[in-house]
Amino acid sequence: MADLSVTYMGLKLANPLIVSSSSLTNTVAKVKRCEDSGAGAVVLKSLFEEQIEAQTEAIEDESWPYPHPEAFDYVRQMGMRLGQDDYLKLIAESKKAVSIPVIASLNCVTPKWWLNYAGEIARAGADGIELNIAILPTDAERTAEEIERTYTRIIEGVRRRVEIPVAAKIGPYFTSLPRLARGLSDAGAAALVLFNRFYQMDIDIEKLALAPGYHLSSPEEIHLPLRWVAILAGQVGCDLAASTGVHDGAGLVKQLLAGARAVQVCSNLYQKGMGRIAVLLRELEEWMGRHGFEKIADFNGRMSMGASEKPEYYERLQYIKVYVGLE
Ligand SMILES: Cc1cc2nc3c(=O)[nH]c(=O)nc-3n(C[C@H](O)[C@H](O)[C@H](O)COP(=O)(O)O)c2cc1C
């Protein structure tokens, strides 16, 4: 039997498959179900600053263009209000119920909450904390540098407050992602999660109102995170976890080949159930068997840009092949 164990943000995982932050991880029973289904770790549903401040009325108004689908999901699907105390309880009780690592998740807007709340989360016993940082640049006065500095400041601040490892879950829209990624790693991030999936904006043309778009991913969405995992692996000092578009064992293998230490899965589990965890892991093992790999380190990062013979031409050849082939 292959050894699927990995170390991700300093935590030992029996396998690289993590159940992403979502309503699949918002109760102790569901966290236990993740463990029973074979997950290597879980990231708990995010705690939103709006919950901490108990300002949920505004979010319940669906015409309000709130940038986080997670908040809509929280209010509409959970049918309950998990305040900050409930969240700390979720962490503490999940830790008692399972032996896999439990990573808490925080999504804030204003600096004071990142700092105050990260400390509380660490004290509640979380093994790590994932900061879902999603700053939507809507203001033409704000420079890219200012926005990116905010990202690194959040990491620096939280790192000063807590001893547990901190990951940053970010979106793909930066001019120089390698530069930002290295900055976050230098600021103390133990891992980067690529990528956060922004709320898909939509408009209801009958009601003339903003509407939230469909929020589950499709398998085609793997390509964007796959490219960036492959480019960043080995270039930034910290671990990378892939998130978005992994719907089968092949997707899991691809992300590990690109250089991800861990792979987060969400939409596929919503669509097809928690039994998919065992299927994906079995497909990974079968693939390893076919290729004679005994452990993840035997192939992890093998298809990354850094491992290629000519990194300067990485992807260029495939690009040419596609476009010449199409003519
Ligand atoms: C219903 C739903 C709720 C989610 N809630 C959160 C959340 O609270 N915090 C977070 O960081 N990401 C949240 N996400 C995003 C997922 O963690 C994940 O990054 C995204 O769905 C892409 O992965 P996938 O392609 O495997 O679904 C949510 C996604 C869905 C579909």
Ligand 1 geometric centre to CA of 301 (Å): 25
Ligand 1 geometric centre to CA of 19 (Å): 10
Instruction: Tell which atom from ligand 1 comes closest to the C-alpha of 70.
Output: 5
* Residue 287 near residue 249 (C-beta atoms within 8 A): yes
Of 41, 102, 9, nearest to 277 by C-alpha is: 41
Ligand 1 geometric centre to CA of 322 (Å): 32
- Please give the Cα distance from 84 to 120 (Å, whole number): 9
- Please give the Cα distance from 204 to 250 (Å, whole number): 36
* Residue 102 near residue 124 (C-beta atoms within 8 A): no
- Whose structure tokens read 């990995």? 6
Which of 22, 24, 133, 270 is the best mutation target for the ligand 1 pocket, counting ligand atoms within 8 Å of the beta carbon and taking the most? 22
Instruction: Tell which atom from ligand 1 comes closest to the C-alpha of 195.
Output: 19
Ligand 1 geometric centre to CA of 199 (Å): 10
Which of 17, 19, 21 is the best mutation target for the ligand 1 pocket, counting ligand atoms within 8 Å of the beta carbon and taking the most? 21
* Residue 12 near residue 35 (C-beta atoms within 8 A): no
- The residues that bridge with 15 in the sheet, in sequence order, are none
* Residue 144 near residue 85 (C-beta atoms within 8 A): no
Which pLDDT value is given to residue 326? 60
Pair of tokens at residue 241: 């976890």
As for ligand 1, residues whose beta carbon falls within 6 Å of it are 20-23, 45-46, 70, 73, 105, 132, 169, 197, 215-217, 243-246, 265-267
pLDDT in tens, the chain (327 residues): 899 999 999 999 999 999 999 999 999 999 999 999 999 999 999 988 766 655 444 444 444 444 555 555 544 433 334 677 899 999 999 999 999 999 999 988 777 778 888 999 999 999 999 999 988 888 999 999 999 999 999 999 999 999 999 999 999 999 999 999 999 999 999 999 999 987 778 899 999 998 877 789 999 999 999 999 999 998 999 999 999 999 999 999 999 999 999 999 999 999 999 999 999 999 999 999 999 999 999 999 999 999 988 777 777 767 777 777 665
Ligand 1 geometric centre to CA of 134 (Å): 13
